């Protein structure tokens, strides 16, 4: 008497199908679960037995061994409960047909089904492997139904699942989740008065995916500017949106948010966030952190210098590779983390540099502060711009600025230009300043300006590359084929590196 059912677990953002085998042998009553399990799965023995009995089924009073295969994959959490129950019931009773069906849900003691995290990436994996049906708790149905080619069966009780498998009372498949949600949650750029420089920098950041540092006195509107950035980013491709939703699914955040949003995410973790909360990690199987929740969107770090230095150091790898790898004793997992970083900081320790109130800090303090603000990630910040406090006159009398939608139009065409260029194989491999400069079609006058800036502004090699990349984005926004002197000069002005 041996039977099986298909469950699923996740490693990073990838689903891993798990075959749950149940063997009922003669012997004194015994129930063992083997196969690289964690505590939650060992506790499943008690949950599953109670749920089966409270569902009105007989628990086999014999020697039951459940094996989760493949044995080398570490497994965690309560999502195997339903698959274990189905496998055990099938081993004890014929007439339950679970072929082509996978099961992912936690069981309550009263036999009802509970939602679990990570159902969306599991559903993607199961569909890719040719599973036709997936039974989940009804709260997980909307996210699972986002996956094409998979019939999602939402259930509330174990009895319903068994009745369905016996062919007695079929469960109605869940309909695919509602389409894309309404407009962006952040403010529209037109609502922001003044701040011409910062708006321009946001536009460049959106077009080229450049990281941005906003400096300005408290209350000058740095947060509002950052919140407006997502409204300048184009909609996500459906594939990308699904990938982002999968990350939210892992954290169990899809139940309170539209299952599938085409709008780029905006995440603003507070500086008291833990390191694993920021970059990912946590106890047991690693969870994605804020930087992955900001994948293909915006990560906003307000009060940058209040973040512990170690947190900022941990951002360096993801900022370079657009992904983060978390190493665990049992496995290393990788989560995508391709985001635009917007950092905000006061201009000086007292916060009033350049303000009407006047600043009391001397230059040495300013330099020390400046080093603290962006030290660890200085060479990852492409754009630095000031957000001055607005005068009352500007707040009321200021002319209406451009709406986000207008700017987004320019951003979209600039991105098209860039992806057209990246299709050229030579462009993708250019790394050195001179190779980049050639592939960017930098005009001779612009190259001369860049050379002069090397002496005067003491630009590092990295600095050169950043200036060139920003200048290329500026030219893309203008629809220019080549990079002109003005684009280089403007990029130089925004460089995040000060002359010593």
Q: Which stretch binds another protein (CB under 8 A): 106-114, 246-254, 262-270, 351-359?
A: 351-359
Residue 165 within binding range of another protein, rule CB under 8 A: no
Find the shortest distance in angstroms from Cβ 416 to another protein: 20
Residue in the structure block whose two tokens are 């599938």 = 260
Q: Is 148 left (phi over 0), alpha (psi -120 to 50) or beta?
A: beta
Residue in the structure block whose two tokens are 């992904």 = 323
What six digits make up the tokens of 240? 């990308």
Residue 404 within binding range of another protein, rule CB under 8 A: no
3-state secondary structure of 155: strand
Element (H, E) at 166: none
Residue in the structure block whose two tokens are 């139009």 = 409
Note whether 4 and 21 are within 8 A (CB).
yes
Among residues 105 and 474, whose Cβ is nearest to another protein? 474
d(CA 42, CA 276): 26
Task: Tell me how crowded residue 174 is: count the other CB atoms within 10 A of its CB.
Answer: 20
Find the shortest distance in angstroms from Cβ 433 to another protein: 16
Q: Judging by DSSP bridges, how do beta strands 383-386 and 212-215 pair with one another?
A: parallel
Find the shortest distance in angstroms from Cβ 384 to another protein: 6
Residue 433 within binding range of another protein, rule CB under 8 A: no
Choosing from 384, 437, 442, 473, the residue that interacts with another protein (CB under 8 A) is 384
3-state secondary structure of 13: coil
Counting residues that bind another protein (by CB under 8 A) gives 48
Q: Quote the DSSP letter at residue 268.
A: -
Tell me which residues in 189-218 interact with another protein (CB under 8 A): 194-197, 199-200, 215-216
Residue 500 within binding range of another protein, rule CB under 8 A: no
Residue 423 within binding range of another protein, rule CB under 8 A: no
Tell me which residues in 468-497 interact with another protein (CB under 8 A): 474, 485-494
Choosing from 242, 259, 305, 385, the residue that interacts with another protein (CB under 8 A) is 385
Choosing from 33, 353, 407, 465, the residue that interacts with another protein (CB under 8 A) is 353
Residues 6 or more apart from 350 whose CB is under 8 A from it? 359, 360, 361
Choosing from 300, 369, 440, 464, the residue that interacts with another protein (CB under 8 A) is 369
Note whether 185 and 266 are within 8 A (CB).
yes
Find the shortest distance in angstroms from Cβ 236 to another protein: 28
Half-sphere exposure of 55 (CA within 13 A, CB side): 27
Residues in touch with another protein (CB under 8 A):
26-29, 61, 194-197, 199-200, 215-216, 347-348, 353-354, 358, 362-364, 366-367, 369-370, 384-388, 449, 452-453, 456-457, 474, 485-494, 498-499
């Amino acid at each position: 008497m041996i039977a099986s059912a298909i469950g699923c677990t996740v490693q990073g953002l990838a689903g891993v199908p798990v075959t749950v085998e149940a063997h009922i042998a003669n012997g004194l009553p015994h129930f063992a679960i083997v196969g690289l399990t964690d505590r939650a799965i060992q506790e499943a023995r008690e949950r599953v037995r109670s749920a089966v009995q409270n569902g009105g089924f007989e628990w086999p009073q014999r020697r039951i061994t459940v094996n989760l295969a493949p044995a080398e994959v570490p497994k965690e959490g309560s999502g195997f409960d339903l698959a274990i129950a189905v496998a055990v019931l099938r081993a004890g009773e014929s007439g339950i047909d679970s072929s082509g069906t996978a099961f992912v849900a936690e069981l309550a003691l009263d036999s009802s089904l509970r939602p679990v995290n990570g159902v969306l990436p599991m559903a993607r994996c199961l569909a890719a492997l040719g599973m036709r049906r997936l039974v989940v708790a009804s709260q997980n149905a909307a996210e699972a139904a986002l996956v094409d080619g998979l019939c999602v069966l939402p259930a509330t009780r174990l009895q319903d699942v068994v009745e369905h498998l016996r062919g007695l009372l079929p469960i109605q498949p869940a309909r695919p989740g509602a389409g894309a949600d309404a407009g962006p949650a952040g403010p529209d750029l037109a609502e922001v008065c003044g701040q011409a420089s910062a708006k321009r920098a946001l536009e460049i950041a959106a077009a080229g995916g450049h990281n941005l540092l906003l400096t300005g006195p408290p209350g000058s509107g740095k947060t509002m500017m950052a919140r407006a950035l997502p409204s300048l980013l184009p909609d996500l491709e459906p594939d990308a949106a699904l990938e982002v939703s999968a990350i939210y699914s892992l954290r169990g955040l899809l139940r309170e948010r539209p299952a599938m949003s085409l709008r780029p995410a905006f995440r603003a973790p507070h500086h008291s966030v833990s390191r694993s909360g920021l970059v990912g990690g946590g106890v047991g199987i690693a969870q994605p952190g804020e930087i992955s929740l900001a994948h293909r969107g915006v990560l906003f770090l307000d009060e940058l210098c209040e973040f512990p230095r170690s947190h900022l150091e941990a951002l360096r790898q993801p900022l370079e590779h657009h992904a983060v790898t978390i190493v665990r004793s049992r496995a290393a997992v990788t989560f995508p983390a391709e985001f635009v970083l917007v950092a905000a900081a006061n201009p000086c320790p007292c916060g009033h540099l350049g303000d009407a109130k006047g600043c009391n800090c001397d230059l040495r303090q300013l330099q020390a502060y400046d080093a603290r603000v962006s030290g660890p990630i200085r060479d990852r910040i492409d754009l630095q711009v000031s957000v001055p406090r607005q005068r009352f006159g500007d707040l009321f009398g200021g002319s209406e600025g451009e709406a986000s939608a207008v700017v987004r139009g320019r951003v979209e065409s600039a991105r098209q230009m860039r992806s057209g260029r990246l299709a050229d194989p030579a462009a993708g491999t250019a790394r050195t300043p001179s190779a980049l400069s050639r592939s960017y079609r930098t005009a001779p006058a612009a190259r001369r300006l860049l050379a002069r800036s090397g002496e005067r502004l003491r630009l590092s090699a990295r600095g050169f590359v950043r200036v060139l990349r920003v200048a290329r984005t500026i030219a893309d926004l203008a629809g220019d084929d080549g990079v002109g002197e003005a684009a280089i000069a403007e990029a130089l002005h925004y460089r995040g590196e000060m002359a010593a």
